[in-house]
Amino acid sequence: MAIKVSIVEDDDWIRGNLANQLSRTPGFACAGSYANAEEALGHIPKDDPNVVLMDINLPKMSGIECVRKLKPLVPSAHILMLTVYEDSDKIFDSLLAGASGYLLKRTPQAQILEAIADVHRGNSPMTGHIARKVVQYFNQRGSAEKEIEKLSKREHEVLDRLAEGIPYKEIADVLSMSIDTVRMHIKGIYGKLHVHSRGEAVAKYLRK
């Protein structure tokens, strides 16, 4: 059975070329091709593709945001990002949003087809330095979870309010404690999470 591929790419020449290649290569089929994220979100769930090729730099909504919204609509589809540059932050954000790997646009078409087949088999094409960033992220995430578990119930309540952006005085009022007690709990939170500011504490909390 042919691997059904949907394409999201704003460059008409690249999009048409990829669609052509897929249509005339045995074992592959172009399920649909779209110039922007908005069209893609409206049509790809009906295409029911096995693989989606997604440009990162799309007009209006980015490819990364499109992945985030598309993945719940087609959970069984594997998404491969298309990019001109090895911008590690954008690629990393794409993977966290739900993409399975990425391809450089300068990749020869034969290798693009190989990568599509590879991701369809459940693999994740990406370079070593991106793979390391993913591993580091999840290691840090696991570490954050362990540190959060050390917080007392009251510290959890204070940190919840910090994450909502509530000022110290309001936290004191909501939790029926003095502002000095709030500061004491915040000092304890900073110590247990090994951070030095509200922003760092909230970032670690949201990463758990």
Last residue of a domain, one of 106, 126, 146: 126
Whether residues 85 and 185 fall in one domain: no
Confidence at 103, pLDDT banded by 50, 70, 90: confident
Task: Quote the pTM value.
Answer: 0.65
58 and 155, same domain (yes or no): no
Structurally, how many domains does the chain consist of? Answer: 2
| CATH code for the domain of 162 | 1.10.10.10
What does 70-101 look like in DSSP terms, one character per residue? HTTTSTT-EEEEEESS--HHHHHHHHHHT--E
H or E stretch covering 51? strand 51-55
Q: How far apart are CA 24 and CA 172, in angstroms?
A: 67
204 pLDDT above the threshold of 80: no
Nearest-angstrom CA–CA distance, 118 and 4: 13
Which domain does 149 fall in, by range? 133-206
Give the whole-number percent of the chain exceeding pLDDT 90.
Answer: 47
Clarify whether residues 117 and 58 are in a common domain. yes
DSSP string, 101-144: EEEETTS-HHHHHHHHHHHHTT-----HHHHHHHHHHHHHHHHH
Q: 68: Cβ–Cβ under 8 A, 6 or more apart, which residues?
A: 97, 98
- State the residue for tokens 């922003």: 199
One domain, residues 99 and 145: no
Are residue 70 and residue 116 in the same domain, yes or no?
yes
The structure tokens listed for 44 are: 């790809």
- How far, in Å, CA of 78 to CA of 165, rounded? 36
Cα–Cα distance between 134 and 100 in angstroms, integer? 12
Which SS3 state, helix, strand or coil, does residue 50 take? coil
The answer to whether 36 and 58 have CB atoms below 8 angstroms apart is yes
CA 81 and chain centroid, separation: 11
pLDDT, tens digit, 9 for 90 and up, residues 18-52: 999 999 999 999 999 999 999 999 999 999 999 99
Among residues 84, 106, 126, the one where a domain terminates is 126
Please tell me which of 3-7, 78-82, 140-144, 189-193 the model is most confident about, judged by mean pLDDT. 3-7
